[in-house]
Amino acid sequence: MNNVGSVSADMQDRPEQGPPLWLLAELTYRCPLQCPYCSNPLEFAEHKQELTTAQWIDVFSQARALGAAQLGFSGGEPLVRDDLAELIGAARDMGYYTNLITSGMGLNQARIDQFLDAGLDHIQISFQASDGEVNNMLAGSRKAFDQKLAMARAVKAAGYPMVLNFVTHRHNIDQIEKIIELCLALEADFVELATCQYYGWAHLNRAGLLPTKAQLDHAEAVTNRYRAKLAAEDHPCKLILVMPDYYEDRPKGCMNGWGNIFLTITPDGTALPCHSARQLPVAFPNVSEHSLSHIWYDSFGFNRYRGDDWMQEPCRSCPEKEKDFGGCRCQAYMLTGDATQADPVCSKSPHHHQILAARAEADLPQPPIEALTFRNERTSRIICKS
């Protein structure tokens, strides 16, 4: 590894704002699956342009010089890029810790071996459910479940640390015991049981995805029972349960602060402080027009919600603002139309009633999985036109 711990001259001149530590490279919005909770923008079909191999390597190099240490390869489905092994190799040569975030579609033994040779550190495979029928219905592919099972086994056999990720919602959260058992059988090192975060396609489908409080309580109790059992057995698998903030009264400290440690680059080179921020009414810079140093430290987009000058009441005078930064700017914008509002998850927000209404809606009978709006090119194009 080279460049480890290197600090650019530019970074030394910027004591007030730390560097980006986490780089998320959304290599493409293309994906063979159609998850109705996908975090890609609704209008992803409008953004077909992708950075070239050389442009991505230049982005990695600039971010590394600023101080970034972890690099996630994401999408869409990053495996649709034929240059993925080359990108992984370049990133590892720069000293990044590298993580592939994939659905497993398009993975095979040859590519697993190729990525190992390139130095890939870690693989995360996402599943839609613990049984083939629900998994394949959500994914929109009859082959998806078997392919994921085969690739999870192959990834472990190759010796990678492996995360299995299950996005949970009202249609699969009651399977939590089976999900955990499946992950243990597949020898996952980490299991991420992440309830939907309501952005992008998940926000569009929120009524059909948000679990009830009773479902969440059951999932939490089962997870805690398994945690205790695994700890007693000294089992290496770790269970991570991410609950939806819709059942909280205080918002999450989103992205650990706006433009604080996370840097996302979208397929066309737009730089974002978080992967959902593209929807905000803010002009975000592009790596083909500006250096990453300028983007991170000086651009309007990355400075827009740093600090607290932008805050309105009740956040402005709130003693908790150092802890949660007023919550999520995207959620504030989606629910109030104004990104400078307090996140409506907060019980002090004048818009908190929207969260309470969503909770009440979750208790009503909801249509079946087939009624969800699935993420695909055709639907995205319709949304773009509307």
Name the minimum Å distance from CB 29 to ligand SF4: 8
Among 20, 24, 25, 34, binds ligand SF4 (CB under 6 A): 34
250 counts as binding ligand SF4 under rule CB under 6 A:
yes
38 is in an annotated binding site: yes
248 counts as binding ligand SF4 under rule CB under 6 A:
no
Q: Which is nearer to ligand SF4, 306 or 321 (CB)?
A: 321
Name the minimum Å distance from CB 376 to ligand SF4: 8
384 is in an annotated binding site: no
Size of the residue set binding ligand SF4 (CB under 6 A): 26
183 is in an annotated binding site: no
Q: Which is nearer to ligand SF4, 158 or 318 (CB)?
A: 318
Give the per-residue contact string, 300-329, with ligand SF4 (x = CB under 6 A; - = no): --------------xx--x-xx--x-xx--
Structure tokens at 90: 């370049």
Which residues inside 256-275 make contact with ligand SF4, applying CB under 6 A? Answer: none
Name the minimum Å distance from CB 34 to ligand SF4: 6
DSSP H or E segment with residue 222: helix 213-232
Among 103, 130, 168, 205, binds ligand SF4 (CB under 6 A): 103
45 counts as binding ligand SF4 under rule CB under 6 A:
no
35 counts as binding ligand SF4 under rule CB under 6 A:
yes
Which residues inside 105-164 make contact with ligand SF4, applying CB under 6 A? Answer: 126
Q: Which stretch binds ligand SF4 (CB under 6 A): 2-10, 29-37, 147-155, 215-223?
A: 29-37
Name the minimum Å distance from CB 307 to ligand SF4: 13
What residue ranges bind ligand SF4 (CB under 6 A)? 31, 33-35, 38, 40, 75-77, 103, 126, 250-251, 314-315, 318, 320-321, 324, 326-327, 342-343, 346, 348, 375
User: Which residue ranges make up the annotated binding site for [4Fe-4S] cluster?
Assistant: 31, 35, 38
